[in-house]
Structure 1
């Protein structure tokens, strides 16, 4: 079994997909997953721990097994939040390709792609980014200090006609793509970059 769906392939479940390096995973990731679970009326949220983000350097990237273990620890055994290495199992490095595999593997599941505002701001650099919008509904979650710039970025402007009202976010999973919402949520202060910087500083002081 390639993905952690306890209901198999036949039931129509709503699943949020949060991709990332999780280098390391932290409480902010859990906050995003829990917010999406609640605001989008999802059955589950999967954290897709990438083998290697094509847009990020190899230097400083912990092994995937370590990042996966960290993500599972942060989720704390929550029954509806699941960290997985399915991209390694699928052999995909790009989100567009991962979505193609998932939709074939789980044809009746309703997926929602979850992203922080910083990723919306740089999404035109992603391979086949328009395919992602065409494949599944997308929820963008506010992330300081990127939110304002993200909504003015090329991807947001290009897909402005597909933006849906936040009040209807609970029904996003049932929307025919392209469809996306921007969720203004309580911001979480955790940052993987800051955590790595503190860890590096601690090592230097030892």
Structure 2
């Protein structure tokens, strides 16, 4: 089967949570992608370093998407040495899937940050952006992104974040419905985020 449409959900996934999975599933159902790549960042350029090692984030992601049809992990950013730039990732993926179109799945909270991305003008030529609303953030594209291809979709408007979950875990609060069971088990077995 020829792959023609790939959704991309990138992130630090520190840890991956139910909001990530729900957003990806809604995008999959809405846009009918052939598959969705979850791409864990190696060294993110605009955010602080992850709280746990890349191998833990990758293992949690594997546990989180286990058994979900059309969800796959592309770990090229973790394998790559140095800072993870989206333009490099897209270039690598285009070599792997030369006939595919790529759609970045993002929340409206990320729209204003895209002009800060390295070589963002190339990125917006190579990919379409599938944007879902995040509470408190505009869906309006910045003027610099007037040529950007945007599709919108209704996503979950939960206020779940990895930051909040890490704090809950540190305080000993229940995260049973915020994390996929396999992810929660992995965290508990290894004492991550204590």
TM bucket, shorter chain: 0.7 to 0.9
- Give RMSD over aligned pairs: 2.2
Aligned residue for 2:142, secondary structure, equals helix
Task: Please say if 1:69 is aligned against 2:39.
Answer: no
Does the C-alpha gap of structure 1 residues 180 and 16 become closer, same or farther in structure 2, counting only changes over 3 Å?
A: same
Q: TM-score, normalised by structure 2?
A: 0.80
CA distance in 1, matches of 2:64, 2:96: 27
Q: Provide structure 1 residue ranges, at least 5 long, that are not aligned to the other structure.
A: 1-6, 163-177
Task: Please say if 1:142 is aligned against 2:133.
Answer: yes
Q: TM-score, normalised by structure 1?
A: 0.75
Native 8 Å contact 2:54 2:78 kept in 1:
no
Task: Please say if 1:183 is aligned against 2:153.
Answer: yes
Task: Please say if 1:46 is aligned against 2:66.
Answer: no
**How is 1:79-158 mapped onto 2 (pairs within 5 angstroms)?**
79-91=69-81, 93-146=84-137, 148=138, 151=140, 156-158=142-144
Higher relative contact order (CA 8 A, sep 6+): 2
Deviations 1:17-62 (A, max 9, x none): 111100110000001110110111111111001112111112x521
Q: 1:201 aligns with which of 171, 179, 182?
A: 171
